[in-house]
A and B are shown apart, each in its own frame.
Chain A
Amino acid sequence: MSKNRVSRRQFLSYTLTGVGGFMAAGMLMPMVRFAVDPVLQAKAGGNYIPTPQKVADITEVPTRVDFTFEQQDAWYNSEETGTAWVYKDDKGEIVALSPVCKHLGCVVNWEGDKSNPDHFYCPCHGGLYTKDGTNVPGTPPIAPLDVYPYIEKDGYLHLGKAEPKKGA
C-alpha cells in the first residue's frame, strides 16, 4: 500500500470530471463549429470548375473555352458542358464572359459577323455586344453578357457560376 493511494471520493470526482468534460465538449463543439462556420468556409475552390485553359495562354483576343462539369439533379448525375469567352483586357485582367445571349438564349460568337468586327454577334436575331460584353443599343438584347467569376489554380483557369454584370 503506497501513501498516495486514491481515495474512493477522489476517484469518483476524477471520473466525473473526465466524463462530464467529454459530454460538455460533445455538446459545445457542434455549437462552436456552427457559430464560426462562415469563417471556415473555403473562399475559393469550392464551386469553381476547372477548365482546360492555361492562364498563361490567355491572349487579348477572346477565345472559346469549353469545360465539362457534373450536374446533380436529385440523385441523377449528368455531365454538362459549359462555354466561356475568355480574354485579357487592357489592364491585363482576365475576363470570362458567358456566351448566352441575353435576348432569347442563343450562343454568341466573337466576330461572328464580318460587318461587325470586334463585337460578339448573336446569329439568331443579330444581337451585338462590345468586347467587354455590353449590349449595343438598337439590337435586340437588353442586358450585357453575364460574367464568370474566376480563380487561377495550378496555372489553369477555374470558373464559377456566371452572374449578371455589375454596374449594369
Chain B
Amino acid sequence: MKWISQDIDMYLKSKEYVDTAVLPLFPVSLRDDIKQTAAMSEFISLLSIQLERQFRGRLVMFPGYSYLKSFPEDKLISDIKLWEKELTEKGFKHVLYLTSDSSWKALESQFDGGLIWLPSLPLEHMDEQYKNTILDDQVKQLLQLFLQKWQSGE
C-alpha cells in the first residue's frame, strides 16, 4: 500500500494482514557526490514503486526518509530508531529499509529492522522498456528475500 489516503483506508480495514513496513532511505548531497545521491534516490524510488505493486497487500510503503549526506552518524541512527520504535509499537512485525547508499551497511547492526541494500543502476541512459525489465528482475530477487523474512517471522 502506498502512502495515499485511498490505500490507507484499505490498511485500516485489513490491518491484521499488513505486518510489514518499508521505508526507503534517500540520500541528498549538494557537494561532489550530488549526482550519485540523485541517481541513488531515483533508483530507489522507482524500485519502491515496483516493489509496492508486487506486495501491496502486505506492506505499507512509507514516504522515504530523506537525509543529508553531511548528517552525523548518530543523528541518522537516532532518527531511524525513532521510526522503528513508532512502527513496531503500531503493529508492524517487520520493518525494512530500502537504500542504495552503502554507508548504511556500516550502521546496520545498530538497529533492529532489516536493511535491503541494492547498488544503484545507471538508469539515466536506459529506455523505458529496458528500465522496467531491469527493475522487474530486481523485484523478483527481492521476492525470495521477503518470503524468507515472512516465513522466519511466523
B5 at interface (Cβ–Cβ under 8 A)? Answer: no
Task: Choose one: B53, B55, B57, B133; the contact of A103 (CB below 8 Å).
Answer: B57
Of A3-11, A32-40, A104-112, the one touching chain B: A104-112
Can you list, as one digit per residue, whether each of B44-83 has a CB less than 8 Å from chain A (1) or not (0)? Answer: 0000000001111110000000000000000000000000
A68 lies within 8 A of B147 (CB): no
The bracket for how many chain B residues form the interface is 10 to 19
Residue of B nearest to A104 (CB): B57
Q: Are B132 and A124 in contact (CB under 8 A)?
A: no
Q: Which of B1-49 contact A (CB under 8 A)?
A: 10, 14, 17-18
Instruction: Tell me the smallest distance from the CB of B7 to a CB of chain A, in Å.
Output: 9
Additional pairs, 11, CB under 8 Å, beyond known A104-B14, A106-B55: A66-B132, A68-B132, A104-B10, A104-B18, A104-B58, A105-B56, A107-B53, A109-B143, A125-B17, A125-B57, A125-B58
A-B contact pairs, 16 of them (CB 8 A): A68-B129, A101-B57, A104-B10, A104-B17, A104-B58, A105-B56, A106-B54, A106-B55, A106-B58, A107-B53, A107-B55, A124-B17, A124-B57, A125-B17, A125-B57, A140-B17
Which residues of A line the B interface, CB within 8 A? 66, 68, 79, 81, 101, 103-107, 109, 122-125, 140
